[in-house]
Amino acid sequence: MPDELDSNTIRIRMYRVGFGDCFLVSLPLTGDAGFRHILVDCGVHGKGNIGTMDEVVDNIGTITDKKLAIVIATHAHQDHISGFNPEKFGKFQIGEVWMPWTEDPKDAKAATLKKKHVALAAQLNDHFEAQAFSGARVSKSRAAAAAAVANLVANKTSLQALHSGFGVDARVRFLKAGDSLQSGDVPGLSLKVLGPPTDEKFLAKMDPPAGHSYLRLDGNRVESANQLRPFSSKWEIKPTDSDLQNLRLSEAERKRIKDEVASDSLDGLAFALDKAINNTSVVTLFAFRGQVLLFPGDAQYGNWEAWLQQSDAADILSSVTFLKVAHHGSVNATPKDALEQMSPGKFAAMVSTQSTPWPSIPRGPLMDRLKQQTKNKTIRSDSLAIKDIKAPKGPVVSKLPSGFVKGDFWYDYFIKL
Amino acid sequence: MSDNTKNDAPPERPLKAYAFDPSQGRNLGNYMTINVRNEALQPGPVGKYLVVIDYDASNDTYYEPVNLDDPAVLLRGGLDPSESDPRFHQQMTYAVASETIRRFEFALGRKAKWGFRGGRRTDPNRYRLRIFPHAMQEANAYYSRDLQGLVFGYFPASETDAGANLPGQTIFACLSHDIIVHETTHALIDGQRRFFMEPTGADTPAFHEGFADIVALFQHFSYKEALLEVIQKTGGLIYRLNVAPEVAPADGGPVIAPELSTENPLVQLARQFGEAMGMRAALRQALGTQPNSKDLEKLFEPHDRGAILVAAVFDAFFSVYVRKTRDLMRIAKAGGATVGPDDLHPDLANRLAKEAAKIAGQFANICIRALDYCPPIDILFGDFLRALITADYDLVPNDRYQYRAAFIEAFRLRGIRPQDVASYSEESLRWCPPEEMKGVTAPVCKGLDFDVFSLPTPAQQKRNAIILSLFGKNNAEALGLRPGIPVQAHSFHPLHRVAPDGGLRVEIVAELMQQTEVHLDPNDQQSEKFTFRGGTTIVLNREGQVRYAIQKSLGKDDDQNERLRRQREYYYAMDAISGLTTYLPPPPLDGRPMNFNLIHRGY
Ligand SMILES: [Zn+2]
Ligand SMILES: [Zn+2]
C-alpha cells in the first residue's frame, strides 16, 4: 500500500478537529499534472472543540497550494462549517462551493423552511441559555439538547462566506438528490448526489411540528424559565404550608413533578430540529477511476431512507470502496440496511468523532459492526493523540490497518488506483 | 359541611364553567353550569375520583385551594368564571373532569377505574386521579401515568398573532373545556385498556388522541344554549364550519362585527389555545377536508392521524343527524317556512337541538362502549370500526336509523380497512364467536364471581383473575393464544347495559395477555430486545360462554408474523423520527409507554 501521493493514488485526509468534520480528498490527474483537491466540510462544535482548527486550515492551505476544486458544506451545522473562515478561505482559489438545496435562497420551499428552523433554533437556544444562566439544575437530557441547539446557531459568518463563494468567484451550487455532475476541472470524476431529497414526504419530516410555535416565533426576548407568575401573590401558598393538609406533596414528589414537566418537552423539540438539519446533508457519491467514495455528511435515517428505496441502491452500496461514516457514528445515521449491503472487506471507513459533548456518540455496536464489515479498515479520529492537545481519548489503535497513515493531527487513507 | 351526602343532600351540584374557553366571552352560551354528581368534597377539591392539587412546578408554589362546600360558594352554584382566580380554575377542572367520568360510567355501565397502580401507601390520595391545573409554564397539557394525573400548563399568548386574545395575555390550558375532557379521556382509556399506551404502530397513539378528541367534541352537543345558537345561525346545518353573521353584510363585505361570519365552535377544538399559539385557528377541526383514502398513508403524527378517525366518526354522526331531521325540515318547509340561517322557527330550532343532542349522546355512548370490544393491544382503526359495529349490534340489533351503515360508509371513505375481513358488510365486520373463527368450541368459563351492583372485592378479583388465566391457558388455541406461554388476566369487569327495549344485559369483559421477548432485529442476536405482547379480549355472557374472542395473537418469531414485523418496523421508524436516541442512550423498548408529554407538546 502506498503511503504518499502519486499519480496513481487517492488520498483522503481526516483531520482531528474534535466533534466535527473536516475531510480533504485529493485526486490525482493523469501524467504528472498534479492533483485536484475537494474539501468536504470544515467545522467543529463549540462544546467539542479541541482547538486544532486554525492549524487544520493552515495545513489545508499548505498541501493544496491554496487551490480547492470543490468545497462542500454538507449542511448548516456548526460542526461542519465553523471553520469556513472568510479571511482564510478568501485567500484560496476555489472552483465551486456546493451546498444542499435547502440552502438555496431562490427556492421558496427552502426559504420558508430555513426561516422556521432558524427562528426556532434561536428561541430554543435563548431559552436554554437563560436556564443555564439562572443556575437551575440541568438534566442530562437538557444538557444534550442544549448542545444540539448550540450547533445550530452562530453560523452566520460561515454561511455568508459560503454563499458568497468566499468572495473569490467560486461558483455556488445547490444540490439535490438525483443530480449527477461531471466536474470539468477534475477529469475522470463523476458525481452522483443521493440526498437530500425534495419530495413532500421528506419535507413534512423536516418541518418542526406546528404545535411547537408556542415558543413565540415573534420574540427575540430571552425568557427565563420562571418569568411568568400567573396569579396575584395573594393566592400563593408556600409548599411547606401546613394548611395544605392532604394536598401537600412531599419534597421528593415535587422534585419528580419538576423534573417531568420542566425538562422533556423542549428537549424533544431540540432533537427533532437538529435531526431535521442533519437530514439536509448533501450525500455525495464520488466515482473516480474505479473507486467509489461515499460522503453522507450527517444524514440520518430520513435522508437515507429516500434513496435506499431506489432500485439502484443495492448496486451503489455494494460498489462503495470508501465510507465517511455519517453523523460521527451516531445511532440512526448508518442504517443497518445500508451497511449490510456494502461488500465486506471491499471498503474502508473513517469516523470523525469523540464522546464529547454527547457520551452516546459514537454508538458502540455500530463501531463494532463497521470493523467487521470493513475487515478492520476502520479508523476513528479520536484514537489519535495530538501533541500538547487535551482531547477525549477514543480506543487506542496499536497497529494501523493497511492504507492508513497517522499525521500530526490527521489520519490519511491512501487508495491505490 | 362534609355531611351533605346524607339523604337530604341534592343529587347534583351545580358548578359554573366555560363551555369553550375564556376567549369566547359570553358568546354562544359560553357560560354554562355543569351539574356534577354531588359528593362530599374537601378543599382542593378532593372527591372520590379526583384530587385537584394546584402545585406550580415552574414557580414552586401552590395556589389556594377552593372549598366548594363553603356555604357562600354553594349558594352561588360555585364560583363565577374568572381568569384571575385560581380557585375557579380548580372548580372548572374538577367539574369538567367529573362530567367526563360520569359520561364514561354511564356508557360503560360500571364504575370508572384509573390505569395507575396507587402511589405511596401513606398517600391519602393514592387512588385518585391528580389534577394539576397550573403545573408549568408551557403551552401543553397531558396525562401522565407516572404522575398519576393530568398536567396543565399556562403560557403567554403570542405577541404578534394572538387571535382573539390579547398579545402576551396568559392563556390557561385548564380553562379550555376541550382540553380538560381530552386529557381526562386519556386517563379513562388508560383505566380500561392499559396497553393502549404502548405505541406498537402508527395507529395506537393516534387512536388515543383521536378518541380523546371524539369525546371532547361530542361533549359540545350537550351544551344546550351553544347548540341552539349554532342551529339558528346555520339553519340547522350544524356541521358547517362557519355560522352566519348576525347581520348579512352588504355587497362590499362586512363592515361591522355582527356582519362577520364566525367559526362554528361545535366542530372545533381548543380554539383559544390554538389562536394563542399564533396558529390562527382552532387546534383541530373535526371536519373541513374532503374524505380521502390517501391520508392514512401519509399522516403519522398522532394528532394528524387521529384526526382521520375523528372525521370518520363525525361524518357518521352528521349523516345520521341529517337523516333523522330531514322529516322535521320537510314539515317546516311544507308549512311554508323558509329554512335557512336566521329564520328558523324557534320551535323547529328547539326540536333540532334536541335531536342533535340526543344523537350526539348516542354516538358518544357507542364509541365509549366500543372500548370494551377492542383488542387488548395494538389497536388499529379498522379494529375500532369492528368494535363499534359489534358493540352497537349487541345492544341494538335492529339498526333502524342506520347508525352502523353510517359508520361503515364514513370509515370506508377514509380508507380505513379492517384486516382479515371479506367485505364492508355488517356481518363480516362484526367480531365472531371463537367457533366460527377456528372451528374449535370454547368451553364455558365457570365460577366467575361478579356482583352486579358493586365493585368486586379484592378477594373476588383475585379469584376471578386465577379462573380467567386458567381458562385462557386451557383453551389457548380456541382463544387465539399461544399454547405453552403463561396467560395473565388483566382488567376484567362486568358490564351492564340497558338496551333501548329496556332489557338489562350483563356481560363480562376480560383481557387475556401473553408476552415474549424478541430482538429488535430478528437476524441479529446482539440487537436490543423488546417485549412483544399478544392477547385476546374475551366477552362472556352471564353464563360464562365466550361470545367474542377479539385476538391479537402472539404468534411465533418468524416470517409469518405480520404483526411482529409491523411493530419492529414501527420501532425503527420511531427512533429514526424522534431523534431522541441520537444524543441520549436509547430508552428501553420494554413496554415503552407513550410519552404524552412529547406527543402533546402544545396540547
Ligand atoms: Zn449535523
Ligand atoms: Zn456533525
Taking only the tens place, the pLDDT of each residue in A148-170 is 888 888 789 999 999 999 999 99
Most confident range (mean pLDDT) of A33-47, A183-197, A217-231, B312-326 is A33-47
Q: What is the pLDDT of residue B161?
A: 54
Instruction: Compute, in angstroms, the gap from residue B368 CA to the centroid of ligand 2.
Output: 48
Give the pLDDT confidence score for residue B346 in this predicted structure.
Answer: 79
- Min mean pLDDT across A317-331, B220-234, B491-505 is at B491-505
Interchain proximity B583–A261, CB inside 8 Å:
no
Using alpha carbons only, what angle is made at residue A341 by residues A337 and A343, rounded to the nearest 5 degrees? Answer: 150
CA torsion B366-B368-B373-B374 (nearest 10°) is 130
Residue with cell 445547490: A174
Q: Which three cell numbers stand for residue B442?
A: 370454547
Determine the average pLDDT of the residues in B141-154: 87
What CA dihedral angle connects B452, B454, B459 and B464, to 10 degrees?
A: 30
Give the B window 332-361 contacts with A, CB below 8 Å: none
Lowest mean pLDDT among A103-107, A190-194, A282-286, B197-201: B197-201
List the one residue out of B157, B173, B211, B135 whose CA is nearest residue B18. B173
pLDDT of residue A217: 30
**A220 band by pLDDT with thresholds 50, 70 and 90:** very low
C-alpha cell at B594: 407513550
CA B152 to chain CA mean position, Å: 17
CB atoms closer than 10 angstroms to residue A346: 16
CATH homologous superfamily of domain A9-108+150-211+275-416?
Answer: Ribonuclease Z/Hydroxyacylglutathione hydrolase-like (3.60.15.10)
How close A274 comes to chain B (CA, Å)?
8
Cell of B343: 329564520
Quote the cell numbers at residue B554: 402472539
Q: Once rounded to an integer, what is the mean pLDDT over residues A371-394? A: 94
User: B600, B596, B22: which is closest to B276 by C-alpha?
Assistant: B22
User: Could you report the per-residue pLDDT of B360-375, keeping only the tens digit for each?
Assistant: 999 999 999 999 999 9
Contact flag B63-A212 (C-beta cutoff 8 Å)? no
Give yes or no for B60 touching A (CB within 8 A). yes
pLDDT over 50 at A216, yes or no = no
Structure confidence at residue A57 as a pLDDT band (50, 70, 90): very high
What is the average per-residue pLDDT within B324-336? Answer: 74
How would DSSP label each residue in B483-519? TTS--EEEEEEEEEEE-TTS-EEEEEEEEEEEEEEEE
pLDDT of amino acid A371:
94
Quote the cell numbers at residue B523: 437476524
Percent of chain B at pLDDT > 90 equals 30
**Grid cell for residue B454:** 358493586
**How many angstroms separate the CA atoms of B587 and B528, rounded?**
10
pLDDT value at B593 more than 50: no
Q: Which of B63, B582, B594, B603 to mutate to test the interface with A (most CBs of A within 10 A)?
A: B582
Residue that wins the pLDDT comparison between B413 and B452: B413
Chain A residues within 8 A of B526 when measuring between CB atoms: 365
Q: Is the pLDDT of residue A410 over 90?
A: yes
Distance A82 CA to ligand 1 centre (A): 12
CA distance B160 to chain A (A): 6
Among A231, A341, A370, which would you mutate to test the B interface (most chain B Cβ atoms within 10 Å of its Cβ)? Answer: A231
Beta bridge partners of B141: B152
**Residue A275: its chain B contacts at CB < 8 A?**
579, 582
Min CA distance, A136 vs chain B (Å)?
Answer: 11
- Please compute the mean of the pLDDT values over residues A314-333 and round it to a whole number: 92
Task: Please compute the mean of the pLDDT values over residues B159-182 and round it to a whole number.
Answer: 77
Contact A302 B576 (CB under 8 A): yes
Lowest mean pLDDT among A386-395, B299-308, B512-521: B299-308
CA distance B5 to chain A (A): 21
Mean pLDDT of chain A: 86
Between the two ends of chain A, the Cα-to-Cα distance in Å is: 11
Q: Which residue has the higher pLDDT, B347 or A376?
A: A376
Q: Which residues of B touch A305 (CB under 8 A)?
A: 576
Q: Which cell numbers hold the place of B329? A: 325540515
* C-alpha cell recorded at residue A222: 430571552
Mean pLDDT of B180-186: 93
Taking residues A86-91, report their average pLDDT: 95
Residue B275 pLDDT class (50, 70, 90 cuts): low
Distance CA(B602)–CA(A210), nearest Å, equals 9
Distance CA B254, CA B261 (A): 9
Question: Which band of pLDDT confidence, cut at 50, 70 and 90, is reported for residue B280?
Answer: very low
Q: Name which residue leads in pLDDT, B176 or B292.
A: B176
The partner residue sitting opposite B602, judged by closest CB among A211, A226, A272, is: A211
Instruction: Give the pLDDT confidence score for residue A309 in this predicted structure.
Output: 84
Position A196 scores a pLDDT of 93
Q: Residue B159: which of A219, A274, A332 has the nearest Cβ?
A: A219
Closest Cβ opposite residue A261 in set B57, B524, B579 = B57
How confident is the model over A315-337, as a mean pLDDT? 91
pLDDT-derived band at A210, boundaries 50, 70, 90: very low
Nearest-10 Cα torsion for A277, A278, A281, A284: -170
- Expressed in angstroms and rounded, the spacing between residue A148 Cα and the centre of ligand 1 is 9
Length of chain A: 417
Query: Is the peptide bond between B45 and the residue preceding it cis, with omega within 30 degrees of 0?
Result: yes
**How confident is the model over B410-414, as a mean pLDDT?**
90
Question: Distance between CA B54 and CA A298 in Å, rounded?
Answer: 45
* Dist CA A252 CA A249 (whole Å): 8
Cβ proximity of A62 and A285 under 8 Å: no
Residue A400 clears pLDDT 80, i.e. is over it: yes
Distance from CA of A211 to the nearest CA of B (A): 5
Give A392 Cα–ligand 1 centroid separation in angstroms.
Answer: 19
Label residue B588 left, alpha or beta by phi (over 0 means left) and psi (-120 to 50 means alpha). Answer: beta
pTM: 0.73
Please give the mean pLDDT across all residues of chain B.
80
Instruction: Say how far apart CA A410 and CA B5 lie, in whole Å.
Output: 80
Check residues A148 and B134 and name the one with the higher pLDDT.
B134
Cell digits of residue B302: 398522532
Interface membership of B298 toward A (CB under 8 Å): yes
Mapped onto helix, strand or coil, the DSSP state of residue A381 is helix
Burial group, residue B402, by CB count within 10 angstroms (0-12, 13-18, 19+): middle
Task: Point out the least confidently predicted range of A207-216, A349-358, B47-56, B433-442.
Answer: A207-216
Q: What b/e readout covers B356-366, taking b as 16+ CB neighbours within 10 angstroms?
A: bbebbbbbbbb
List Cβ neighbours of B440 (8 Å cut-off, separation of 6 or more): B434, B477, B478
Q: What is the pLDDT of residue B398?
A: 85
pLDDT of residue B496: 76
Question: B482 versus B125: which is more confidently predicted?
Answer: B482
Q: How far apart are CA A365 and CA A7, in angstroms?
A: 38
Helix (H, G, I), strand (E, B) or coil at A416: strand
pLDDT at B249: 61
Residue that is written with C-alpha cell 418569568 in the block: A227
Residue B490: CB atoms within 10 A of its CB come to 17
What CA–CA distance (Å, rounded) separates B399 from A19? 66
DSSP letter assigned to residue A217 = T
At B586 the three-state DSSP class reads coil
Whether B272 shows a pLDDT value over 80: the answer reads: no
Name, in order, each residue with C-beta under 8 angstroms of B314's C-beta and a sequence gap of 6 or more.
B214, B217, B239, B267, B286, B287
pLDDT for residue A161: 95
A16 — pLDDT class (breaks 50, 70, 90) = very high
Per-residue pLDDT, averaged over B284-310, amounts to 71
